[in-house]
Amino acid sequence: MYALKDFGSFHVGGRMVEVSGQSTETLRFSANMAYEHDPNGAFLIEQVYVQYFIPVEQRHKTPLVLLHGGGLTGACWETTPDGRPGWLHAFLRQGFAVYVIDNVERGRSGFCAVEGIWQGKPVGRTQAEAWDLFRFGRQADFTANKPYPGQRFPLHALEAFQRQFVPRWTSTSPAQIRGVGAALRKIGPSVLICHSQGGYLGSCAAVENPDMIRGVICCEASGWPASEAITAETVGGWPWLLLLGDFITESERWSQAKTDTAAFGERVNAAGGKAELVELPDVGFAGATHMFMMDTHSTEIAGWVGDWVRGNC
């Protein structure tokens, strides 16, 4: 159990765009209400939503910032699909202040209604794609519901997990990096914990805002900052923890990601930083999928991560 001293939320970041030359239109929300809508004017877009939780007994001075992955929102940290407390609660019990981000075009950050600003179309995700991408089992075994032996995701709650999926654009990374940076500057010096696509976006925001970082934990990042961005000034002052789950060799995609992760860690260390690559099975967490903040040993993994933060940040 834990008690909160404070909790709340804020929006931060974004930019104004000006729309002109559009025709007004009649909008009808019900049989009894209609009005003339003018789509011209200044619109604020690309803001991010941040919710914060401050425990009464705060046992670590530096807060944690949780950044979700692609096609997900901050809800992924709150409660697991099968109803267990998520990493948000695990870290609050450990005495950390926690900030949870909904990044640009996700969740409570909202969506841009101005046509032409975001290129491309929003992309959804099926259960079958999640099964393969998140390493619950081989793609060919989805229909038979045959997972990897020993995997720890609660597959009986796969449909509940799918209810968390939201549309995503593939063209908004620059806006998302700006949004995370704005959140970090608002929150102040923090330990950033970021997952999957959020690992790429978060690590880019971290090297752009090094004075706001006291540590970065990348949970199976899908990409990394450009090599020229890795310097003593951007990565030299704080530790990186690069986490990988189990079944990596079963996936060509994640095998390549492991190679890229190791190369990034080497670049950080060569620039005078301190990067540590850890595969969760090697520290006692066999069966960890890509969604290890939801796996059945997620609380124990959060405990290990909290110990790392206390010992390094």
Give the closest residue to 277 by CA, choosing from 231, 313, 237, 244.
244
- The whole-angstrom separation of Cα 282 and Cα 302 is 15
Q: Which residues, at least 6 apart from 311, have a Cβ–Cβ distance to it below 8 Å?
A: none
| Domain assignments of the chain as residue spans, ordered by start | 4-13+47-312
- The whole-angstrom separation of Cα 239 and Cα 235 is 8
Residue 34 has pLDDT above 90, yes or no: no
Specify the pLDDT at position 196. 98
Of residues 220 and 111, which shows the higher confidence score?
A: 220
**DSSP symbol at 77:** G
Specify the pLDDT at position 31. 83
Question: pLDDT tens, 264-293?
Answer: 999 999 999 999 999 999 999 999 999 999
Question: pLDDT tens, 75-111?
Answer: 999 999 999 999 999 999 999 999 999 999 999 998 8
Residue 152 has pLDDT above 90, yes or no: yes
User: Is 3.40.50.1820 the CATH number for 4-13+47-312?
Assistant: yes
Specify the pLDDT at position 264. 98
Of the CA atoms within 13 Å of residue 87, those in its CB half-sphere come to: 28
Specify the pLDDT at position 32. 86
Specify the pLDDT at position 35. 85
Burial of 231 (0-12, 13-18, 19+ CB in 10 A): middle
Among the ranges given (23-37, 51-65, 163-177, 290-304), the one the predictor scored with the smallest mean pLDDT: 23-37
Specify the pLDDT at position 30. 86
Which residues make beta-bridge pairs with 55? Answer: 4
